[in-house]
Amino acid sequence: MPTTADLSLQLTLKSRQISEFFPLLQRGIWLPATTGCSVIKLLSNQLGIAEDYVADRITTLFLDGKAIDDAAASFVKDGSTLALSSAMPGLVGSTMRRGGHLAAMRGEITYHQTKVLTVGAGKVKIKLFNMLMKEVGPLLLERGFIISGAELVTLLTEGEASFQDGCVSVSVNDRPYSCDELGGKLLTILSPQQTILLKIIWKD
C-alpha cells in the first residue's frame, strides 16, 4: 500500500456509524506515519492516544505478529502491523497481556528488537480489537487512513443504506457531493487501483 494517495475523500457521518467500521478496524487500516520510532511514540505523539490510556487500557499489543512487553523498547518500521487489544479473558489473555506474569510462556512469539531502524516517512497498519474499536477507532478514522478503491467500494456497498442514512456531507478533493451519490455516482469516479486518503469526521 503506497504512503501517498491519488485522491482524498472526506465523509462526515453521525457518530453511531462507527460500528460500520468495526470489521475494517479488525482487518487493519493503513495510517501514514513517521516510522523507525517506538510503539509508544507512534501511539501517543503521532496518533494522539494518551500514554495513560496506552498503559492502562491497551493491555495486549502485537507488533508484526510478536507480543510486546515494553512499548518504549519496541520499534515500528515502514509496513509494520500493530495489533491492539484491551484485556482478553482466560489463560490466553493472561499469557498475551503486556508484562503479565505468564508472559514467559509465549516463547518465540515475544517481540525482540534486533537492530536500529531508520526514521522516515512510511505507513503502519493498525488493527483494533474488543472495546478499542469503539474507543480508539473514531480517533484513527478521523486522522485519515489509506484505502484502495476496491476496498472503499466494498466498504460503501456492504453498508450502503446505513452509510447514507448517517451521512451528513461528502467531499472528494474538496469538491462536495450529495450523500445520495455515496453508493452510486461517487463510486463511478473511483478505480480499484486508486489509493484514497479517507477521513471520517464525526457528528453527534
pLDDT digits (tens, 9 = 90+) for 141-172: 999 999 998 898 888 877 656 777 889 999 99
C-alpha cell read off for 48: 494522539
pLDDT at 179: 87
Q: What is the pTM of this model?
A: 0.84
Residue 7 near residue 172 (C-beta atoms within 8 A): yes
Helix (H, G, I), strand (E, B) or coil at 125: strand
pLDDT at 101: 45
C-alpha cell read off for 123: 505507513
If residue 161 lies in a helix (H) or strand (E), which one and from where to where? helix 160-166
- pLDDT band, residue 45 (cuts 50/70/90): very high
Q: Listing from the earlier edge strand, what are the strands of the sheet with 7-14?
A: 66-67, 60-63, 81-85, 120-129, 29-35, 145-148, 195-203, 7-14, 167-172, 175-177
66's CB contacts (< 8 A; 6+ apart) are 109, 110, 111, 112
pLDDT at 82: 97
Helix (H, G, I), strand (E, B) or coil at 110: strand
Residue 87 near residue 93 (C-beta atoms within 8 A): yes
The residue extents of the domains of the chain are 7-203
If residue 55 lies in a helix (H) or strand (E), which one and from where to where? helix 51-57
pLDDT at 116: 60
Residue 107 near residue 116 (C-beta atoms within 8 A): no
pLDDT at 182: 77
